[in-house]
Amino acid sequence: MKRSIIKDLLKNPVFGETVCVKGWVRTRRGSKQVTFVALNDGSTVHSIQIVINLSSFDGEYIKDITTGACICVEGLLVESQGQGQSAEIQAHKIEIYGKADPAVYPLQKKGHTLEFLREIAHLRPRTNTFGAIFRIRHHLSFAIHKYFNRRGFFYFHTPIITASDCEGAGQMFHVSAFDPDNQPRTADNRIDFARDFFGRHTNLTVSGQLEGELGAMALGGIYTFGPTFRAENSNTPRHLAEFWMIEPEAAFYDINDNMDLAEDFLKYVITYSLEHCRDDINFLAGMYDAGLVDRLNFVLGNKFVRLTYTEGVEILEKSGRRFEFPVYWGSDLQSEHERYLVEEHFRRPVIMTSYPKEIKSFYMKQNEDMKTVRGMDVLFPKIGEIIGGSERESDCDKLLARVNELKMSLDSLWWYLDTRRFGTAPHSGFGLGFERLVLFVTGMSNIRDVIPFPRTPNNAEF
């Protein structure tokens, strides 16, 4: 018999029909005569109730239908008498695909902490919480592609293995095909990468931006959406060593166009999630974050504040607040400062611009004051920095001067500088940390809980 998807059955039930469903048992309860099984197939946070009249089944066989088991059920779809559910299935035929021995299956009824579930990341998608999060993650990905496609931006695939360090922070994972116990050495006893697979030293990309810019300087508008890697030893609820980033890059955009794009884009994908993931968002709000829906609507309903770094630092200095990290002009703002501005001072998302050049990357457009650059960070409640971007330095001489000042290697950047030599144009772009967006939309508080298999310092299990 053809399998029905539980989400569809609950949405448009045709009572009196015989149906077939397949899924994993969430709970089982009942009496000597009748057993009730909550069955979930991952299509929705809601499980469907299966009613098993024990007089019509072999008790020995049915005994193995315990939490975690996978079963196939055929039966009659009837209106449910139980509270809070529209339809249930009176089972005629049951096949057990896979048992889950209750003595060892780790996901029993309820009450597991998120910390415990991280240790069983291979099974946690079977909980209501992680089912909801990963469905929202999917819908957000889809919305992102939809948004840029509609705006005429092309999905551009930038390499994962590269020889450059876009952010210049040196937080890279090295890529080598050498036998770690037997690496060829040069005469001065350094590892001889010239003899390695790529004939040079390579690493996992920290950002697709540099190659993304090449795309924008030909196709007009592009975006990337791929994994990026940072070997920064930050054990925080907002950092991953492997995370997904969306990086639009657009020719002929100045910093203001870039800010408009970022705000419109974030509002679009948040609206999309409210329209397409309402059951899952409501579930998570009920479990973890009562203010979630209000916070999402709040971001949608308010224009983001735009202010310069200098203005922001002044506000922080005058706040009278004692921060863990001191603030002064030139200091890199910490999450506590960003959240103060967003959550307490303005009570709105903030786009901060014109940062001191020393705390930003080499490629940002230099302002006339020679001190600041046209970077922009979008700061969100609960999250802090959700987007980082800038207008790019399109003047070849100025860019080259900055590259030299920072003693960056021209050897791995010549092609990037070529865009400024041949048909340069004003252009801008930004990077959205996908998991930070998923954190915001799900209301979860640890980034390890919004990616199926998180990679963090000392953790690459699964």
Judged by the rule CB under 6 A, the positions of this chain that interact with ligand 4AD are 166-167, 207, 209, 230, 232, 239-240, 243, 245, 247, 385-390, 429-431, 433, 435-436
- 373-392 residues near Mg ion, rule: CB under 5 A: 388
Q: What does the alpha-carbon distance between residue 146 and residue 140 come to, in Å, rounded to a whole number?
A: 10
> What is the nearest approach in angstroms of ligand 4AD to the Cβ of residue 202?
18
Beta bridge partners of 428: 250, 391
Residue 389 interface partner, choices Mg ion, ligand 4AD, none, CB cut-off 5-8 Å depending on type: ligand 4AD
Q: Find where tokens 């039930």 sit.
A: 13
Residue 448 binding target from Mg ion, ligand 4AD, none, CB below 5 to 8 Å by type: none
72 or 231: whose CB is closer to ligand 4AD?
231
Number of residues that bind Mg ion (CB under 5 A): 1
Closest distance to Mg ion from the beta carbon of 325 (Å)? 16
User: Which of the listed partners (Mg ion, ligand 4AD, none) does 430 bind, with a CB threshold of 5 to 8 Å by partner kind?
Assistant: ligand 4AD
Closer residue to ligand 4AD in complex, CB, 295/436:
436
428 contacts 115 by C-beta, under 8 angstroms:
no
Are the beta carbons of 359 and 310 closer than 8 angstroms?
no
CB 321 → Mg ion: shortest distance, Å? Answer: 23
Q: Which neighbouring-strand residues pair with 245?
A: 226, 433
Specify the residue, 74 or 343, whose C-beta has the smaller distance to ligand 4AD: 343
Which residues pair with residue 51 across a beta bridge? 36, 90
- CA distance linking residue 273 with residue 292, whole number of Å: 12
Output 388 or 429, the one with its CB closest to Mg ion: 388
Going through 172-328 in order, the beta strands assigned E by DSSP cover 174-175, 202-204, 221-229, 242-251, 305-308
Q: Does 433 bind Mg ion (CB under 5 A)?
A: no
Interacting partner of 387 out of ligand 4AD, Mg ion, none (Cβ under 5 to 8 A depending on kind): ligand 4AD
CB of 230 or CB of 365, closer to ligand 4AD: 230
Shortest Å, Cβ 66 to Mg ion: 48
The CB-of-356 to Mg ion minimum distance in angstroms stands at 14
Tell me the closest approach of the beta carbon of residue 279 to Mg ion, in angstroms. 34
Cα dihedral value 141, 142, 147, 152, nearest 10: 110
Give whichever of 215 and 388 is closer to Mg ion, judged by the CB atom: 388
Q: Name the 3-class secondary structure at 436.
A: helix
3-state helix, strand, coil in the chain (%, to 5): 35, 25, 40
Distance CA 216, CA 225 (A): 15
* 13-16 own/partner pairs: CB under 8 Å, 24+ apart: 13/77, 13/79, 13/86, 13/87, 14/77, 15/77, 15/78, 15/79, 15/87, 16/76, 16/77, 16/78
Q: Using CB atoms within 10 Å of the CB of residue 14, give its burial: 0 to 12 exposed, 13 to 18 middle, 19+ buried.
A: exposed
Shortest Å, Cβ 435 to ligand 4AD: 5
Of the pair 19, 450, the CB lying nearest ligand 4AD is at 450
Q: Quick one: what does residue 40 bind among ligand 4AD, Mg ion, none, with the CB cut-off 5 to 8 Å set by partner type?
A: none
Least distance in Å: CB of 360 to Mg ion? Answer: 8
386 binds, among ligand 4AD, Mg ion, none (CB under 5 to 8 A by kind): ligand 4AD
Q: Which does 436 bind (CB under 5 to 8 A by kind): Mg ion, ligand 4AD, none?
A: ligand 4AD
What does the binding site for Mg ion look like in residue numbers (CB under 5 A)?
388
